[in-house]
A and B are shown apart, each in its own frame.
Chain A
């Protein structure tokens, strides 16, 4: 008998009584002022939130937040300040040393500051290896909580996807919070 069949047979032999799938008995957290809550929660998770003003250009914002950035990687056509299109590289390792990566988020979550990144770039390394990450997000695409998040139409339509909530961090040395463990040291979400 293969290990697979053996394990499944043991699980069936030791089966516990049937338990119905529970129904949701509560009303999950909702927010009356999404924009304010998103700004607040981004602060909590160590991120930066910029609400694009009427007529303001994202490139202008990126340049003003990162005036010293030399390499800006993005495959988004609207990011004209990009210095490199990461999809054109032969090897994702070439992204090491990127100052700013600019990507698009699908939706944001108000309860925890997560933004869903469905990989639309050739290399996912871009999300993590860039020293700073800029996420462009439609301000109308803010959902209240995880329950709503996973119910977004066609959510399961991804190969790799990641909820990102602020910059990379660790508190592994004496519980002292340090930003910039392995991933981006700064995350800016620009709400369009």
Chain B
């Protein structure tokens, strides 16, 4: 059984919760659909956005150097980090230089990827998450289960409980408005007293040396409004050529992510504000290796909208924690495999090959096709499940021998009349978590032969 299937067992044990989780995400998917249908040129927009990404990927050094040159001219300090360790060290050195203690950060998947918060915590820096969902997860001491909706798996009562303990809210009050405003008041103090602000980057505009951060809450902007230091971190694939290219992604991002026409705040940072120092860290951490994987290079197009996660029937019914990579869903399956097939191959089975992810992706990444390719390559990587390998071998033998094949069908028809305990028991790995399909009364072969006689 794959690592995903094992972990999912825990999640699906609570049927009611599974249904609730499924519904919550499908609600977001439906909102996305309404937004997409309101833009007549949606498909042409996706196509162009996808090709623009490919053009950018083919010219990454050119656009990154252009961005660096322009950002530097704007007064931003540009740093480069080969990997997570170097990224963390650079961030820590900047904080240290300024004697920073209280850091307020907005959501960044790159920070998760690099394990920044635990790294800073170990060095005595309090890194407060300011996105509400991230803050909830920080209080709970568990990672986000979704890249855009970090606390999508948490029920309001659970938020109420943790806020009661951490923010001294009224016992038993789990009204989302009440809880959100309690967090607003508490985080306002953090914003006002932070000495370092950190943000992620949604897009870096090469032609201008500006970078763009998108939020609905305004937490990134509030966070960067007071401290004397702003550190922004970006994966190197976040660079876009210019504003004409940026327009494509701004149109697609929020519509795909949460089904809004845009995020509330789309902030453009170009020069440090009066008395402030601004840093940007450009991170590789394996991205330049993805460039060399011809079959998977499309993953560098990803704008982290999460729409593939919302639509995935497996994610919706198994939750983010069933995946062993920190990014779940179709995007996470692929990025995990690119990071380390040895560590993360347990996720490739978490796909029904329905291809819904490929159909909603705003930059047309062939997510499902890539998952299929990974599966095909498990055997050469020596990561295939031995029991499945044996079964496939057996199937191939039977399929190649028509006599055996029709005997097997007859046996199947007989087997389906057997009592459940015979068919679904612990000896039958295939029957665990699967229902046998009902066999058709007649095979196509039988129908065909009959048809030939009557005509």
Contact of B40 with A29 in the complex, beta carbons under 8 Å = yes
- Contact assessment for A165 and B264 in the assembled complex, using a CB-CB cutoff below 8 Å: yes
A19 within 8 A of B: yes
B217 and A147 within 8 A (CB) = no
Interface centre among A20, A44, A147, A182 (most CB of B within 10 A): A182
CB proximity to B under 8 Å, residues A14-41: 14-22, 24-29, 41
Contact indicator B132/A160 (Cβ below 8 Å): no
A29 contacts B41, C-beta separation under 8 Å: yes
The number of residues on chain A lying at the interface, defined by a beta carbon within 8 Å of a beta carbon of chain B, is 75
| B114 interfacial contact with A, CB 8 Å | no
B92 contacts the other chain (CB 8 A): no
Q: Does B10 contact A (CB under 8 A)?
A: no
Most chain A CB neighbours (cut-off 10 Å) among B39, B65, B225: B225
Interface flags for A150-192 (1: CB within 8 Å of B; 0: not) read: 1100011011111111111111111110101111100000000
From residue B222, how far is it (CB to closest CB) to chain A in Å?
5
In the complex, which residue of chain A has the Cβ closest to the Cβ of B283? A7
Contacts of B348 in A (CB 8 A): none
- B250 interface residue per 8 A CB criterion: yes
Q: Is A125 within 8 A of B264, CB to CB?
A: no
A170: chain B residues within 8 A (beta carbon): 132-133, 180, 216-217
Q: Is B66 an interface residue (CB 8 A)?
A: no
Among B27, B187, B217, B284, the one with the most A-chain Cβ atoms within 10 Å of its Cβ is B217
CA–CA, A4 and B297, complex, Å: 21
Are the CB atoms of B289 and A181 closer together than 8 Å?
no
Given known pairs A2-B80, A129-B225, the reply for A22 and B52 (CB within 8 Å) is yes
The docked-state distance in angstroms from the alpha carbon of A172 to that of B294 is 37
Chain A CB within 8 A of B19 CB? no
Judged by a CB distance under 8 angstroms, whether A149 is at the interface is yes
Task: Tell me whether B132 and A16 are in contact (CB under 8 A).
Answer: no
- Cβ 8 A contact of A158, one of B65, B260, B262, B270: B270
- Report if B263 contacts A (CB, 8 A): yes
Contact segment of B241-249, B350-358, B374-382: B241-249
- In the complex, are the beta carbons of A41 and B261 less than 8 A apart? yes
Do residues B251 and A146 form an inter-chain contact, with CB atoms below 8 A?
Answer: yes
Of all chain B residues, which has the CB nearest A21? B55
Q: Write out, one digit per residue, whether chain B residues 98-118 have a CB within 8 A of any chain A CB (1) or not (0).
A: 000000000000000000000
Stretch of B144-152, B333-341, B395-403 at the chain-chain interface: B144-152
From the candidates A6, A151, A175, A178, name the one contacting B177 in the complex (CB within 8 A).
A178
Collect the chain B residues with CB atoms within 8 Å of residue A17's CB.
58
**B positions within 8 Å CB-CB of A:** 24, 27-28, 39-41, 44-45, 47-48, 51-52, 54-55, 57-61, 64-65, 68, 80-82, 86, 130-133, 136, 149-152, 154-156, 159, 176-177, 179-181, 184, 187-188, 191-192, 207-208, 210, 216-219, 221-222, 225-226, 236, 241, 243-244, 246-248, 250-251, 254, 258, 260-271, 273-274, 282, 284, 288-289, 291-292, 294, 297
28 contacts between A and B (CB under 8 A): A3-B86, A7-B236, A8-B61, A10-B288, A11-B291, A14-B292, A16-B291, A19-B54, A19-B58, A22-B52, A24-B48, A96-B192, A124-B273, A129-B225, A150-B246, A150-B247, A160-B270, A161-B270, A162-B267, A163-B268, A165-B263, A168-B264, A168-B265, A170-B133, A170-B217, A174-B24, A175-B24, A183-B265
Q: Contact residues of A with B, CB < 8 Å?
A: 2-4, 6-8, 10-22, 24-29, 41, 44-45, 92-93, 96, 111-114, 122-125, 127-129, 145-147, 149-151, 155-156, 158-176, 178, 180-184
